[in-house]
Amino acid sequence: MSKISQIFLGGILAAVCAGMPGAIAQSPVQAGGSGDDWPSYGHDAGGMRYSPLTQINRDNVSTLKVAWTFHVGDISDGTGGKKRSGLETTPILVDGTLYLTSAFNRVFALDPETGKQRWVYDPMIEIAGEYGDGLINRGVATWLDPARAKTKPCRRRIFEATLDARLIALDGATGEPCMDFGNRGQVSLRDVPRYIPGEYHMTSPPAVIDDVVVVGSSIDDNARVDMPSGVVRAYDARTGALRWKWDPLPPNDPPNNAANSAANDSAPPTQGTAKKWRTGAGNAWSVMVTDPERDLVFIPTGSASPDYYGGLRPGDDKWANSVVALRGKTGEFVWGFQLVHHDLWDYDSAAPPLLATVQHDGKAVPVVIQGNKTGFLYVLNRDTGVPVFPVEERPVPQSDVPGEVTSPTQPFPSAPPAVSPQKLSADDAWGITPEDREVCRARLKGLRNDGLFTPPSLKGTLSIPGNVGGMNWSGYAFDPQYSLLVVNTNNLPARMGVIPSDKYWDTVDANTQDADYTQQAGGPYGLFRTMMFAKAHRLPCAPPPWGTLTAVDMATGTIRWQIPLGSLAPSKPIVPVGAPSLGGPIVTASGLVFIAGAMIDPSFRAFDVETGKEIWKYQLPTSAGATPMTYQTRKGGKQFVVIAAGGHRGVTEEPQGDSIIAFTLP
């Protein structure tokens, strides 16, 4: 997510608490079994976030107690030249050790049963760097070298990609750098076109497939037209040597470059075909997943730069806003599916891909499930990328901004239905008071509002879902026993538009739009953007809930249940339930869904996966903008559930924290 996204989100929630009135089943591991690790960010390499453990179940989850708490100690409140920090790490567990990261990229190894620190490694990043996403890291990846003796160092390697663009390999046993990897344990990731420190950084864990480590990047949104390249690179897990690289966008050559697809040929830029097209990014900033049996790595990509004007990047901009399958050994392009053509809304494929096997037309079909900020879920054949549920290219509203050439169509899946709202009229405006509702109604009436994919305009456009609406990096979890995909989504409409560059600074100085601005330097238009809320009580203009938890039946493509998640004002019953969330769910074989994630609301919850009924809740020290995990380390041992509670980095009203908290049965 971009820096500006966080600013907008904080703007909505800034005064929320002030001034309010009055499938295929897998064999479960039974209690007392051999245990179960959590070796990847999403548990398995394909990111299902499904644990086969059953010791904690629907009957006893209400008795969960805190087993231990560990404090990482790294917090920045955004003063002193430093960005504000968040704690978004999801630990992994391998070889009887828990590995996790702090906001400052420190890597910790803990005893998983006691929380006692075994070692810590500090990469010594520049804390005061200009990191557009703030100070965050979502975790590490691991690889076991089968050719190395157990007594040798770095047989188990822990990989971290840092905010200052380095890939680091550590010995899992000691935390010491693996000296045979790159330059004394690290590889620089800064050798990309148009690299600028801080603007180009890493926030998500690498992906590991066979003996290859794959890294993407996080790139700031909207600062200028030609942002750094969103290249994805793979390195040898032993030596750190570059094995391959793949760029989601072609080089900045004339738009008839064959690498950019026929769609781009048909829409030359306004300067003429002799000019180079200008763009960057399209980067993979979220979590990647792998299928080792097929030798495939699946890459979710974000928008091309700048997000809100595409006149200098004509055509579909493949392969931005896509999910792409690459060959793990070589980086060879196998297939791609673009979720948004010629993105003008910051509709990244922010959610990680998820690999599962679902029943469809009487057959077991291996699929990739990919959602994005539109609220759509796409279910694709894992081998071919062909949609399992049909996808139709439908006409969409066209731009009236001079120089912009909008995609004539966008892909609409026939199933499942959208999991978040995609329209909002002035008549639907919501307010906690009649006065708030009238303010929202008036604001909506003044915007261009032609439904989903209404492009940015000079007068202002309603974007619903907004850029943090729908599915974000929180992602989803899949229960193969019930063929249910569990996903948390946001319902946050935004007002956005473009400003001619010759009027940009006058508009910024006047700030008549009550918005945040970015210049999109190098292009003919700047950007204004803000969430839609009433001034008095700072609650969204869309009807609640503003955040939901949904279970989608992936066999039928239908919604099984949908409930509000969390509350923007837990202590004020007058405020409707349902809060935006960042931090996703996990599921277990005992029929439980664990999730925190809700903004303002510090609750960690468990739900019944079949019904959506809440059956356990615990109040954390602050909200948890992270995804939990669970494990059982040994036969006869206890099952633990772990969550990082540090507050959301973009919500300044929440207390910050540094807690890693483990729960178990009494």
Give Cα separations from 349 to 84, 219, 472 (angstroms).
Answer: 24, 14, 8
Residues in CB range of 525: below 8 A, 6 or more apart: 308, 309, 401, 498, 499, 500, 501, 504
Residues in CB range of 329: below 8 A, 6 or more apart: 210, 212, 243, 295
**Angstrom distance (rounded) from CA 500 to CA 44:** 48
**Angstrom distance (rounded) from CA 478 to CA 37:** 17
Q: Is the peptide bond before 246 cis (omega within 30 degrees of 0)?
A: no
**Angstrom distance (rounded) from CA 626 to CA 656:** 13
**Angstrom distance (rounded) from CA 601 to CA 575:** 13
**Angstrom distance (rounded) from CA 193 to CA 143:** 29
Catalytic residue among 171, 221, 291, 346: 346
What is the secondary structure of 71-111 as a DSSP string? E-----BS-TT-PBB------EEETTEEEEE-TT--EEEE-
Order of strands, sheet of 547-553, starting from the edge strand that comes earlier in the sequence: 476-479, 484-490, 547-553, 558-564
**Angstrom distance (rounded) from CA 429 to CA 449:** 13
The tokens of 503 are what?
Answer: 């009027």
Cβ pair 401, 497 in contact under 8 A: no
Pairing verdict, β 639-645 and 629-632: antiparallel
Cβ pair 344, 417 in contact under 8 A: no
Cβ pair 214, 232 in contact under 8 A: yes
- Could you list the beta-strand ranges (E) of 504-546: 516-518, 525-531
Question: Which H, E and C letters describe 363-379, residue by residue?
Answer: EEEEEEEEECCCCCEEE
Cβ pair 640, 661 in contact under 8 A: no
The tokens of 541 are what?
Answer: 């203009």
Instruction: With residue 439 as reference, give the H or E element that holds it.
Output: helix 434-445
Half-sphere exposure of 135 (CA within 13 A, CB side): 26
Instruction: With residue 505 as reference, give the H or E element that holds it.
Output: helix 504-510
- In DSSP terms, 246 is beta-bridged to 232
**Burial (Cβ within 10 Å: 0-12, 13-18, ≥19) of residue 556:** middle
Order of strands, sheet of 92-94, starting from the edge strand that comes earlier in the sequence: 92-94, 97-101, 107-110, 117-121
Give Cα separations from 115 to 108, 112, 327, 660 (angstroms).
Answer: 11, 6, 38, 9
Judge whether 658 counts as a catalytic residue.
no
Catalytic residues: 346
